[in-house]
Amino acid sequence: MAQIYGYVRVSTREQNEDRQLVAMRGFGVLDCNIFIDKQSGKDFIRQAYRKLLKKLRPGNTLVIKSIDRLGRDYGEILEQWRIITKEKLVAIVVLDIPLLDTRQKERDLTGTFIADLVLQILSYVAQQEREFIRQRQAEGIAAAKERGVKFGRPPMKRPVSLLFQTVLEAWARNEISAREAGRRLGVSYKIFLKWTRL
């Protein structure tokens, strides 16, 4: 029996996939047939997507909310679309773009041409958006650095405690290793060695 599968993707673990899940359920996709990835769409090396590809059989239908949920790389989107529709013989339905519904077998040549054109345009737009995001991030980081914003964890200050002095002296007399000194102070040996140079 032909199955209907759904694919949901958000870029990070903090993002919420509820909107996409509601759309999948509204289309009639069972929860057990929905595959969710929480990672970037820059490529197709995604665990849930790979599992989904293995499940797909001829005659099945794959539902996605929008083309950028499939991915954000122009060439890769077109290649995955070809694999799914031509090699695996699975229909794809893009909920946000009714033109991208390959279940419509009665489509004439003009309809197929328009759907292919829309797919190419949307794939291109998805990749452009990914590149714009990367550019905006780089610009934001550069602007923050110009304002003096420091990135990463602030360096740990050398303690002035009696414990530190005792450990430092034991290390200086070669009674303990840098690793042991770090363990006693609750820091890595690299941090301890940095403190010895201050």
What residues are annotated to the active site?
A: 11
Burial of 152: CB neighbours in 10 Å, binned 0-12, 13-18, 19+: exposed
Q: Would you state the structure tokens that stand for residue 90, as one six-digit string?
A: 């699975």
For 175, residues 6+ apart whose C-beta sits below 8 A from its C-beta are none
3-state helix, strand, coil split of the chain in percent (to 5) is: 55, 10, 35
Whole-angstrom distance, CA of residue 69 vs CA of residue 65: 7
